Amino acid sequence: MFSKTLRLLQFTLLLITFSFVLFSCSSTPANTKTPDSSSIIKTGTIAAPPVMDKDDKTAINTATNEDVYDSTKQYIYLTFDDGPQPGTLACYHTIQQLDVKATFFMIGMHQWDAFLKGVVDTINSNYPAILLANHSFTHAFQDKYRYFYMHPHAALADFNKAQDSLHVPYKIVRLPGNSSWVRNGVIRSSKLTRPVSVLLDSAGYKVMGWDVEWNFKPEPGGAKPVQNVETMVKLVQNTLQKNECYKKNNIVLLAHDRMFHTQAYTDSLHKFVLALKQNPHYVFETIDKYPMQQQPIKL
């Protein structure tokens, strides 16, 4: 009897000891926190987004917004030549009022006093709505076109001088009295202007011609437009529809600041731009947005 009681007591003690060990192994220590879901996400195996190395050109390029042209739109590049002169500020204020973009090809020697330098600064400080571009320093040695183009190195120096004196932001030029195009090695020019076009291309300049011109006649104090507003609007429309532009769906329009030196002429500019602006397919841009393709040079 005593022997059975002793064995029962030993079994009971063994059972209690086993239960205590099992409980100790399955319990969480009092000073240990169970991680919440947020800490699991932060420290788990989910891959973090790759960090862009500022020296990694591939990464930088993928983050850069490039100009995208809408194939359903047609782009208009208003360009005004020969400023600063009477009419420049009238053009500027009209463009500002209508909230469109335009480019002013300016001449270095024309900023000969503080007021005219202020006009240049006004144009230059309003990018990206308005762009200042290079139209030479002397306008072909004061309209001596043949001599200017027969001396291409002197002509290049003239453009360089204008680039510096006007503080032109981009290396974009227009040849005085001649519509030539130089775009990344592709040259379309007359025989007379080809030598300076090649030099400008080698120096990193782009040369912009024009597709349509609003002609003018000289008059005291400036000039006056030849075509009326309706004629100019139709000319732009027909040129785009017939694909007679240098680059399809991109039309470069040439006018001269002095054509708009009176209020009546400025009103014509206002009506012309407003008529074009009402077409939902037209987009106004500065000339630095003109499409530039990398192509082999054609001499």
All structural domains of the chain with their residue ranges: 75-289
Strands (E), the chain: 74-83, 102-106, 130-134, 172-173, 181-183, 186-188, 206-207, 212-213, 216-219, 222-225, 250-256, 282-284
What is the pLDDT at residue 184?
82
Helix (H) / strand (E) containing 251: strand 250-256
What are the pLDDT digits (tens) for 200-249? 999 999 999 999 999 999 999 999 999 999 999 999 999 999 999 999 99
CA distances from 192 to 28, 61, 93, 263, 277 (A): 92, 40, 37, 38, 37
How many whole angstroms separate alpha carbon 1 and alpha carbon 165? Answer: 122
What is the pLDDT at residue 10?
52
How many whole angstroms separate alpha carbon 260 and alpha carbon 270? Answer: 10
CB 269 within 8 A of CB 229: no
Fold of domain 75-289: TIM Barrel (3.20.20)
CB 252 within 8 A of CB 211: yes
Helix (H) / strand (E) containing 76: strand 74-83
CA distances from 188 to 150, 158, 181, 192 (A): 17, 21, 5, 12
- Model confidence, pTM: 0.77
What are the pLDDT digits (tens) for 46-60? 233 333 333 332 232
Structure tokens at 199: 């030099």
The mean pLDDT of 138-159, rounded to a whole number, is 98
What is the pLDDT at residue 14?
45
pLDDT for 299 beyond 60 = no
